[in-house]
A and B are shown apart, each in its own frame.
Chain A
Amino acid sequence: MDYKHLGYFVTVCIIVFGSVISWWLKMFLTERKILKRISLLEEEK
């Protein structure tokens, strides 16, 4: 087993999957924040 090259592959997997999950989480939190603001603004009206 070539552990050095396995390490490269694992690093890439962590970067690819990690960045997609982080992106989704950021969108999820942003969306929640905006929806809260919108409902507050609609209540004010």
Chain B
Amino acid sequence: MDERQFGAEITEVPEEIRLRLSGDLNGRADEALASAYAQVAALGPRRVSLDFAHVGYINSTGIALVVRLLAQARRDGRAVRAIGLTEHYREIFRITRLSDFMEIVEGDAA
């Protein structure tokens, strides 16, 4: 199978915590993403940036995982933004209206 192992690495930058995601964002990323967000939440940042620059594939289950993370972050009073999405996935975030609830940053964010 050609699937790429999902990974989530936490980096702290001023004002936010960045989750550098890699691999395929699908149903199998469930635990890794939930666990990464739990670690982020414990650090209490005001904003979480999801860095998709190293994610090559996102399917509908992966979108559902982002929705779940976003819902949780909103409950926690935390902003979420997405960086490094390809044009195709930015389109998907627009169509699903995820972009109405999280900032979508084109290219690499500062």
Do A and B come from the same complex?
Answer: no
